[in-house]
């Protein structure tokens, strides 16, 4: 049997990537009959699909976000476990992005395509590490695909935050974090650095923090930041979605030092524009070095780039003798925006 060309069985449709011989989509941006979901971020995991297949962690996150959708068929698949859908064999592998995040490995008549969703390569105490899977086509994101994006070690960034806390014991420190993934990772990193005091969390983070705890990620003492005296926040850490930092919500805090934990904090201009005093470069996406390393580790002769800054990565891949094409999928957002 002749091995089919990758683009003959996985195609780009307006609603997203479609796997023809399995009749399902991966991370579709509109409701479809059957969706395989890489992870729980809202731009990848949307509501309204008739059937959903994902890891147990991602299904739990979707249920927390959207409720259990009426009439929806839900199939949980653990990492590494094979399942056949039509003529396609599908497996999920850790992506190291957030709890439950998975790459989707698809094999059809001897041709294998791996859709990595969002991923990073550095250690994350809240989820298992990215696993390189050999394949014919590696489908990759490109959120931080410019050589200027090099994320420093997490411990350095957490160290900056703890140093500032020690320096300004009379001020509150408010850290802008994306509610899914970043919040819990920053908390875990703080705990690993020896910070064991209670951490105040904005109401928008509570549900997902509780979900992580229920999935076995211990976060230590957390307190709701609701209905408290201003004085209680002095010398304390408060975590909130980035949007809450600029608005009235943060006015309840005494002389707050504003921090934001995001890969975008590498761009000074952005931090400045948003009035961030203490930018923390902590990203759940691969930086330039991690992206290049991943292409080398996976060793695929061809890559497809889904969203982000495609050109630099396509150029880099071609220079390595890798065929590369930009899919320019729409509907995916920048991290934490
Ligand atoms: Zn994501
Ligand atoms: Zn994404």
State the distance from the centre of ligand 2 to the C-alpha of 32, rounded, in angstroms: 19
Distance 327 CA to ligand 2 centre (A): 14
Position 333 pLDDT exceeds 80: no
Judge whether residue 336 has pLDDT over 90. no
Q: What is the reported pLDDT for 240? A: 96
Q: Compute the distance from residue 334 Cα to the ligand 2 centre, in Å.
A: 7
Percent of the chain with pLDDT over 90: 89
Query: Range(s) for CATH 3.60.15.10 in the chain?
Result: 6-148+285-326
Would the pLDDT of 335 be above 70?
no
Instruction: Kindly identify the ligand whose nearest atom is closest to the C-alpha of 333.
Output: 2
The CATH architecture assigned to 154-280 reads 3-Layer(aba) Sandwich (3.40)
Q: 230: helix, coil or strand?
A: helix
Token pair for residue 282? 């902590």
Per-residue confidence (pLDDT) for residue 58, from 0 to 100 = 98
Nearest ligand to the CA atom of 39:
1
Q: Which ligand places an atom closest to the C-alpha of 283?
A: 1
Closest by CA to 196, choosing from 219, 212, 179, is 219
Q: Which residue has the higher pLDDT, 332 or 61?
A: 61
Cα 206 to ligand 1 centroid, rounded to whole Å = 19
Q: Are strands 10-13 and 73-76 parallel, antiparallel or unpaired?
A: unpaired
CA pair distance 324, 138, nearest whole angstrom: 10
**Helix residue spans in 77-179 (DSSP H):** 154-167
Distance 253 CA to ligand 2 centre (A): 32
Cα of 333 vs centre of ligand 1, distance in Å, is 9
Q: Please report which residue ranges of the chain form alpha helices under DSSP H.
A: 6-9, 56-66, 154-167, 182-192, 203-214, 242-246, 268-273, 288-298, 310-319
- Expressed in angstroms and rounded, the spacing between residue 306 Cα and the centre of ligand 2 is 9
pLDDT at 282 exceeding the cut of 90: yes
Would the pLDDT of 60 be above 50? yes
pLDDT digits (tens, 9 = 90+) for 11-55: 999 999 999 999 999 999 999 999 999 999 999 999 999 999 999
Asked if pLDDT for residue 57 goes beyond 90, the answer is yes
Summarize pLDDT for 167-191 with one digit per residue, the tens: 999 999 999 999 999 999 999 999 9
Say which residue the tokens 């094979």 belong to.
Answer: 82
Residues with CB in 5 Å of ion ligand 1: 41, 118
Task: Evaluate whether the domain defined by 6-148+285-326 bears CATH number 3.60.15.10.
Answer: yes
Position 334 confidence tier, pLDDT thresholds 50, 70, 90? low
- pLDDT at position 337 is 40
Task: Give residue 267 CA to ligand 2 midpoint distance, Å.
Answer: 19
Domain with CATH 3.40.50.12650 in the chain: 154-280
- Kindly give the distance from the C-alpha atom of residue 182 to the centroid of ligand 1, in angstroms, as a whole number: 10
Which ligand gives the minimal distance to the CA of 284?
Answer: 1
Is 248's pLDDT higher than 60? yes
CA 336 to ligand 2 centroid distance, Å: 10
Task: Please tell me the distance between residue 203's alpha carbon and the centre of ligand 2 in angstroms.
Answer: 24
Ligand 2: distance of its center to the CA of 141 in Å? Answer: 7
What is the C-alpha to C-alpha distance for residues 42 and 93, in angstroms, rounded to an integer? 20
Mean pLDDT of 233-239: 97
Mean pLDDT of 203-230: 95
Across the chain, mean pLDDT equals: 95
Tell me which of 93-107, 113-127, 246-260, 269-283 is least confident.
246-260
Query: For residue 163, how far is its CA from the centre of ligand 1 (angstroms)?
Result: 29
User: For residue 42, how far is its CA from the centre of ligand 2 (angstroms)?
Assistant: 9
CA of 216 to the centre of ligand 1 (A): 21
Token look-up 């049997």 returns 1
CA 281 to CA 83: how far, in whole Å? Answer: 38
Comparison of pLDDT for 26 and 274, the residue scoring more: 26
Q: How far is the CA of 334 from the centre of ligand 1 (A)?
A: 9
Ligand 1: distance of its center to the CA of 187 in Å? 18
């Amino acid at each position: 049997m002749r091995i089919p060309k990758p683009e003959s069985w996985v195609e780009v449709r307006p609603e997203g990537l479609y796997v023809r011989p399995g009749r399902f989509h991966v991370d579709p941006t509109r409701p479809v009959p059957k969706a395989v979901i890489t992870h729980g971020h809202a731009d990848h995991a949307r509501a309204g699909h008739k059937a959903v297949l994902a890891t147990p962690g991602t299904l739990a996150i979707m249920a927390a976000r959207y409720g259990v959708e009426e009439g929806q068929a839900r199939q949980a698949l653990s990492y590494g476990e094979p399942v056949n859908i039509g003529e396609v064999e599908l497996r999920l592998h850790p992506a190291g992005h957030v709890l439950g995040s998975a790459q989707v490995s698809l094999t059809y008549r001897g041709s294998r395509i791996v859709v990595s969703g969002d991923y990073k390569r550095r250690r994350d105490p809240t989820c298992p590490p990215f696993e390189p899977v050999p394949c014919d086509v590696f489908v990759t994101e490109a959120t931080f695909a410019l050589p200027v994006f090099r994320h420093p070690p997490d411990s350095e960034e957490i160290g900056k935050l703890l140093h500032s806390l020690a320096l300004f014991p009379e001020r509150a420190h408010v850290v802008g974090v994306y509610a899914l993934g970043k919040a819990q990772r920053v908390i875990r990193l703080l705990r690993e650095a020896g910070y064991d005091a209670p951490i105040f969390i904005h109401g928008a983070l509570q549900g997902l923090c509780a979900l992580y705890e229920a999935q076995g990620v211990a976060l230590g003492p957390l307190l709701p930041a609701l209905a408290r005296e201003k004085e209680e926040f002095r010398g304390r850490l408060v975590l909130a979605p980035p949007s809450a930092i600029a608005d009235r919500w943060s006015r309840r805090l005494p002389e707050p030092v504003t921090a934001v934990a995001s890969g975008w904090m590498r761009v000074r201009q952005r931090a400045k524009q948003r009035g961030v005093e203490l930018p923390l470069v902590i990203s759940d996406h691969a930086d330039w070095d991690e992206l290049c390393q991943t292409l080398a580790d996976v060793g695929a002769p061809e890559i497809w780039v889904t969203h982000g800054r495609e050109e630099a990565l396509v150029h880099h891949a071609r220079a390595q003798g890798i065929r590369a094409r930009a899919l320019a999928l729409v509907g995916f957002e920048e991290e934490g925006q």
